[in-house]
Amino acid sequence: MRLGLSLSLAALAAGYVVNEDRTCTLYPESLQNDGQPVDDAPSIQKAFELCGTDGKVVFAANHTFNVNSVMNTTNLLNCDVSLRGELRFSTDIPYWLSHSYSVVFQNQSTAWLFGGTNVTFRGEEGGWYNGQGQAWYTQNRNQSNQPGRPISITFYNSTNLLVDGLTIIQPQFWATFVWQSKNVSITNFFVNATSNDEWGTVNTDGYDSWNSDTLLVENAVVTTSDDCIAVKGNTTNLLVRNVTCHWGFGMAIGSVGQYPTMPDYVENVTFEDVKCYNCMEAAFIKTWQGVPEDDSSNGDGGGGGRGLIKNVVFRNFELTNVALPIQISQCIYTENGQNCNTSKMAIEDITWSNIKGTSRYNIVASLYCSDVHPCPGIKFEDVEIQSVNHTLGLPLSDTTLQNEVYQCTNLVDGSGIPCNRAAPSNYGQVVTSNVKDDASSTESSRDPIVEAKKKEQEKLAYMH
């Protein structure tokens, strides 16, 4: 299709698309509307209709594209996408709350469904995605999942998808979500979710995956107040490599086990070469309790789901001032710590290897497995973490425990873990103080099974 004909099509579609030799180049509507932020979503959709099969879509450099409505650019085939301008999503919160596409999981939705077979999506020449998330952070007021608050971009039903050089600033919710896909690589990836007022950026995960296989996340920098990388149910064969996380919750398996009718299996996951600066957690696993509840602190009810987390490796981590470096929790969202010893999720063969650095408090690890499914094959190899005060030669405040704390309950055939206290069943994700001493405790036993049987120790020193 030659230039003149393509411009006629663009005019009919109220879009600004130049199509030549199966390459559709997009220019913003504002160029034809006195600089006004006219919605570019229709012309973007048109470009993918024209060039989404055996073609190329280019967002022209040095331009701002205003996205004021939802986009579905799926079922692409042999398509290359070059983002060279700014994609600026509107802050019309009522619109997005009522129009975002459902992604099924946790009653969530997305602003953009993207995907296909043999597709590349590249951020080039300074191109980036601007979610204008501050409006959402302020509106949400530190609450959790809000129906309709959109994930920035969801890679859906894709096979052989490469996303390279994508930069997302101020995501509305999760930055990216990989759903029902296979062989998806996200490389040279940058996310920054920061708030400029008193409200935090809750639920601004950098990357999440669900029901997907053979995945790669490599060379990423994520700044957020939530999970930098989170692995949801039925994610298998994932490699996460060379990631730097600022302020968030690090590398997470979970949450899983939310839905009784949808078993979760997470297998063959490796996180390696990770740096966490000032994070709340670094390398952890979180599951729901085994008894369903109608509501939770995560904004959505759940629990009672079955499944397995197996063969997970956290390797080569550098930690700086991390509040809770290592955790297994099987009661992550239950209100008031109820039914925490009921999780139906099995956890086995998990290794933390070469994990070094500093913790904010005296807690290195809290590893709790439920009575229903004690955890076999939990291993530490070269885990060397000291509290910041310890490294400075200063005493720890508000506690008589001056050595690092390793809490363990219901571990089977574990190795390399210097367990010195029992892990409470309802130990939270957010740690804000040192583990305190308790006259009823005994730190002489190093056997996690023995520790688990001492039920009175589950009352010991925990933070909500």
End-to-end CA distance of the chain: 62
User: Shortest CA distance to 130 belongs to which of 187, 63, 181, 78?
Assistant: 63
The type of residue at 162 is L
Cα separation, 217 vs 228, in Å, equals 11
User: Shortest CA distance to 207 belongs to which of 151, 266, 272, 263?
Assistant: 151
DSSP reduced 3-state for 268: strand
Is 300 labeled as catalytic in the residue annotation? no
For 338-366, b/e burial (b = at least 16 CB within 10 A) is ebbbbbbbbbbebbbbebebbbbbbbbbb
Q: What is the DSSP string of 16-84?
A: -EEEETTEEEE--GGGGTTT-----HHHHHHHHHHHSEEEEEEE-TT-EEEE-S-EEEEEEEEEEEEE-
Asked if the peptide bond before residue 255 counts as cis, ω within 30 degrees of 0, the response is: yes
243 with 283: CB under 8 angstroms?
Answer: no
Dmax over Cα atoms in the chain, in whole Å? 84
User: Shortest CA distance to 316 belongs to which of 281, 366, 350, 352?
Assistant: 352
Selected catalytic residue, list 205, 208, 226, 227: 226
The type of residue at 295 is D
Between the CA of residue 230 and those of 208, 227, 356, what are the distances in Å? 5, 6, 21
User: Shortest CA distance to 343 belongs to which of 312, 307, 388?
Assistant: 307
168 with 121: CB under 8 angstroms?
Answer: no
Within 10 Å of residue 272's Cβ, how many Cβ atoms? 17
Cα separation, 122 vs 204, in Å, equals 22
Cα separation, 359 vs 387, in Å, equals 4
Pairing of strands 109-110, 101-102: antiparallel
Active-site amino acid positions: 226
